[in-house]
Amino acid sequence: MLCNNCNIALIPEETIKCVACQETCHYACFGIKDTDYKKMLPMNKAKWKCNNCKSKKKGSNLIISPITNTIPESSFQSISAQNTDLKSMLAHFDDRFNSLNSTIESFKCFFTDEFRKLSETVSSWSSKITTMESCINTIVDRINDLDKEVSKVNSYQIELNDLKQKINELSEGTLRNDQWVRRSNIQINGIPHKKSENLIQIVQSLASKSGYCLNPDTDIDFVTRVAIKNDSVENKPRPIILKMQARYKKDDFLSSLRKIKNLKASDLGYAGVNTPIYANDHLSTYNKSLLNEARRRAKQKGFMYCWVRNCTIMVRKTSSSPVIHISSSECLKKIT
């Protein structure tokens, strides 16, 4: 493409076009200095008008010929003023643009720094979260282990409860058996001890006193004396244990003995010995302890009666009150 003024080929770096008359020339052919052209912004180049078109818009008679590149002398001062205003405006826009660009760069630096800090914070929290997740996983694992241990403990507890129940059942069975083997026994208290004594004759004397017909050969299994546990009274006579061959004979003989009132050792030939003689069921060690505690509580709570029949401990508050059977330590709570 050729310049409309000098007919020399145009190059983009030196070309400018009037937006009004569409004349395209070298910027020098329009009278524009090199420094002024370089300061022109692209948006201003797109809106640029030659002086001819500017003069026509204002109604001036000024004629600028792009071919001759001459300006009438009378219009030089007006063009110079316009160029000065244009330069001032361009300088103002350049300053504003530079200021805006500086502000943008400042914001860019600010946001870059803030983004860097945010990235560092996110990285730090990410590391902390990872650590927390690891700790939580460890805690969960320990809780799971504890749950397993608790399950084992619960299982052991069930087994322990079963063992306790079995032990209690065995203990109760042992206590029952311990008393069961004594079911045909009579314990006789208060008879003084003599060397070379004949216990069968003593038992026969008691039978005679009570009016019971006793045949030692067929009715008596054995008869012996037993020591008193933790006995601190040296002169206290040891009890005599009589085992009968049949339980019903034991019950009959014991019933006859209990009918004798105020029987003393002197009544059996022990001169000067007034120790009272009495007979009871032969209780096991556990039932003896239970009887003593039942007597203590009955006395404390105002119960009138506490006795043993057929190896069973019984209490009664009054003659018209119901009989309470005491077979275990739990039954003692009924004495209220």
Average pLDDT over residues 289-312: 93
**Statement to judge: residues 168 and 263 lie in one domain:** no
Provide the pLDDT for residue 38.
Answer: 83
pLDDT at 64: 43
CATH code of the domain in which 6 resides: 3.30.40.10
- Res 106: pLDDT: 81
65 & 136 share domain: no
CA dist 2 and 13 (Å) reads 14
Expressed as residue numbers, the domain containing 15 is: 1-71
Beta bridge partners of 24: 17
> For residues 179 and 282, is the Cβ–Cβ distance under 8 A?
no
**Residue spans of beta strands (DSSP E) within the chain:** 15-17, 24-26, 185-189, 220-225, 240-244, 278-281, 305-309, 312-316, 324-326
Q: Which residues of 14-37 are buried (b: 16+ CB within 10 A; e: fewer)?
A: eebbbeeeebbbbbbbbbbeeeeb
Across 29-50, average pLDDT: 84
Query: pLDDT tens across 109-128, in order?
Result: 888 888 888 998 998 898 89
Using CB atoms within 10 Å of the CB of residue 254, give its burial: 0 to 12 exposed, 13 to 18 middle, 19+ buried. Answer: buried
Q: How many CB atoms lie within 10 A of CB 311?
A: 16
Report the predicted TM-score, pTM, of the whole model to 2 decimal places: 0.51
Give the 3-state secondary structure percentages of the chain, helix then strand then coil, rounded to 5: 55, 15, 30
- For residue 170, pLDDT over 70 is answered with yes
CATH code of the domain containing 188: 3.30.70.1820
Residue with the bigger pLDDT between 82 and 262: it is 262
More confident residue, 142 or 84: 142
Confidence grade of residue 58 (pLDDT, cut at 50, 70, 90): low
Pair of tokens at residue 325: 């059977």
> How far, in whole angstroms, is CA 93 from its chain's centroid?
73
Same domain, 125 and 164: yes
* 211 and 267 part of one domain: yes
Whether residues 238 and 313 fall in one domain? no
**Three-state DSSP state, 324:** strand
> How buried is 179 (Cβ within 10 angstroms: 0-12 exposed, 13-18 middle, 19+ buried)?
buried
What's the pLDDT at 61? 47
Provide mean pLDDT across the span 136-152: 92
Assigned token pair, 127? 């590391």
Per-residue confidence (pLDDT) for residue 87, from 0 to 100: 77
Tokens representing residue 156 in the block: 């052991």
Q: Judge if 256 and 213 occupy the same domain.
A: yes
Q: Are residues 278 and 309 in the same domain?
A: no
DSSP string, 232-268: --TTSPPPEEEEESSHHHHHHHHHHHHT--S-BGGGG
218-226: average pLDDT? 93
Number of domains in the chain: 4
Residue-wise pLDDT for 98-107, tens only, equals 888 888 888 8
The pLDDT of residue 65: 45
Residue with tokens 């939580």: 136
173-200: pLDDT as tens digits: 898 899 999 999 999 999 998 888 999 9
- Domain end residue (candidates: 282, 304, 324): 282
